[in-house]
Amino acid sequence: MVQQLFTQGSLFDLQTVIDYGQSVINVAQGLAKVLIDNRPLSTKTVSSQMNRYFLGTAASGAWQWKDAYEAVEVAQILYLRQKGYKPLLESPLTVLLELEKLVALCPTQTRRSEESVQLQQFSTPLPLAYLVAKAGFIQATDLILEPSAGTGLLAQLAKLHGASLVLNELAPDRSKILRRLFPGTLLFSVNAEQINDYLAGKTQPSVVLMNPPFSTSPKINSRNPDATPRHINSALQRLADGGRLVTISGNWFSPNNPTWRETFVRWQSEARVLMSVGVNGKVYSKHGTQIDTRITVIDKVPADNHRQIPCISETLDLPELLALIEQLPQRFSWERSDIKAAAKAKVVQLPKRSVVSCSTSSLHKM
């Protein structure tokens, strides 16, 4: 969508104003057609579409490659929608392999903008987003909160299950994309480290799916590893009793790491960690990095033993991660007000791996 407005200088001086969100969607629609045809997306194709809808080239400053990568991610979402993709009708491994093939058709994100570096904007790769959503055991009756929604990859996987969404995204351009992608969805643009405060009295989700910035906070220039637990802690507070939170973090944020051990122990008084497992960094290769990450699954039900937390220090490939997720227990009913008193949770069994007992003798630094 393009508008032309008169500038203050002259009645004959026209200024072209781009609707950023709609322009990204327009680009993505063209790219999605290529993906549906099972053809690779070349950088030449992406550039051509960007030039068309942003009325200029990257060299002229009409757009940045960050914008183009956002459009590629949105194209993946549109692919899922246009294919009428129904993950519940396929075997999980089949879905995972299909999503990996889809991502392989997309160009690698090799260029970073200043904003993407500052805000650590690494979107969730689609195959990993599928596993995060699967770990949430999402139902059509759920209300899903995604506190750092990015371009909506995680949100779309939740939407495929028929769930309702509440989204938050601090970056203005990404918020514009989300508003176009998910019209009518409640969308906030706040620092998710305080998401519980901002959403107080507004909504309480049954599931939280999140991929927060790992070590950066707004208005703090230096590295801030406390950002990860702040994001998770605030989201846990907002989560309904009996609900489930699934988060991606840096692999270093582990109950097996003495630096963060007590953070996990404190959470156990209100919510039990069902699983914490490292993820091999190659899943992020198309996003321009191969950093190892970690998935942690938490139910908002007090733990029986605060100091015993299931944890795998090794990093797993996605099919191995899928096998563990399929062992997770079903969620509790989030509508029950007596959930804390009544619930007795089962913790996923981690065969041939480590269950961390948080005492000094049983921990080793990652």
Give per-residue pLDDT as tens, 4-63: 433 444 444 444 567 999 999 999 999 999 999 999 999 999 999 999 999 999 999 999
**What is the predicted pLDDT for the residue at 357?**
38
Please state whether 56 falls in left (phi above 0), alpha (psi between -120 and 50) or beta.
left
- Bridge partners, 357 (sequence order): 308
What does pLDDT average to over the chain?
84
**What is the predicted pLDDT for the residue at 338?**
34
pLDDT at 292 over 70: yes
Burial 256-295 (b: 16+ CB within 10 A, else e): bbeebbebbbebbebbbbbbbbbbbeebbebbeeeebbbb
Fold of 119-362: Rossmann fold (3.40.50)
Query: Which range among 87-91, 265-269, 320-324 shows the weakest confidence by mean pLDDT?
Result: 87-91
With pLDDT > 70 as the criterion, what percentage of the chain qualifies? 80
Provide the token pair at 358: 């948080």
Average pLDDT over residues 141-158: 95
Burial 68-95 (b: 16+ CB within 10 A, else e): bbbbbbbbbbbbbeeeebebeeeebeeb
Domain definitions of the chain by residue range: 1-91, 119-362
**What is the predicted pLDDT for the residue at 18?**
79
At 311-362, the pLDDT tens digits run: 999 999 999 999 999 999 999 876 533 333 333 334 444 444 443 333 322 3
Average pLDDT over residues 225-254: 94
Output the pTM of the full model.
0.85
Query: Which range among 8-17, 97-106, 139-148 shows the weakest confidence by mean pLDDT?
Result: 8-17
Residue type for 349, please? Answer: Q
**What is the predicted pLDDT for the residue at 226?**
84
**What is the predicted pLDDT for the residue at 221?**
58
Report the alpha-carbon distance of residue 303 to residue 299 in Å, rounded. 9
At 208-220, the pLDDT tens digits run: 999 998 656 656 5
**What is the predicted pLDDT for the residue at 219?**
60
Q: Are 274 and 348 in contact (CB under 8 A)?
A: yes
**What is the predicted pLDDT for the residue at 201?**
85
User: Kind of pairing, strands 164-168 and 143-146?
Assistant: parallel
Report the alpha-carbon distance of residue 300 to residue 270 in Å, rounded. 6
Of 148, 167, 259, 278, give the one whose Cα is nearest residue 213: 148
**What is the predicted pLDDT for the residue at 107?**
95
At 163-202, the pLDDT tens digits run: 999 999 999 999 999 999 999 999 999 999 999 999 988 8
Kindly give the residue spans of alpha helices, DSSP state H, lying in the chain: 20-36, 43-53, 65-82, 92-104, 114-118, 126-135, 153-159, 172-181, 195-199, 227-238, 261-267, 318-325, 339-342
Q: Are 67 and 28 in contact (CB under 8 A)?
A: no
**What is the predicted pLDDT for the residue at 150?**
93
Report the alpha-carbon distance of residue 108 to residue 33 in Å, rounded. 19
Q: Are 96 and 322 in contact (CB under 8 A)?
A: yes
Q: Long-range contacts for 93-98 (Cβ within 8 Å, ≥24 apart)? A: 93/319, 93/322, 95/130, 96/127, 96/130, 96/131, 96/318, 96/319, 96/322
**What is the predicted pLDDT for the residue at 332?**
80
**What is the predicted pLDDT for the residue at 356?**
39
Three-class secondary structure of residue 116 per DSSP: helix
Q: Are 269 and 247 in contact (CB under 8 A)?
A: no
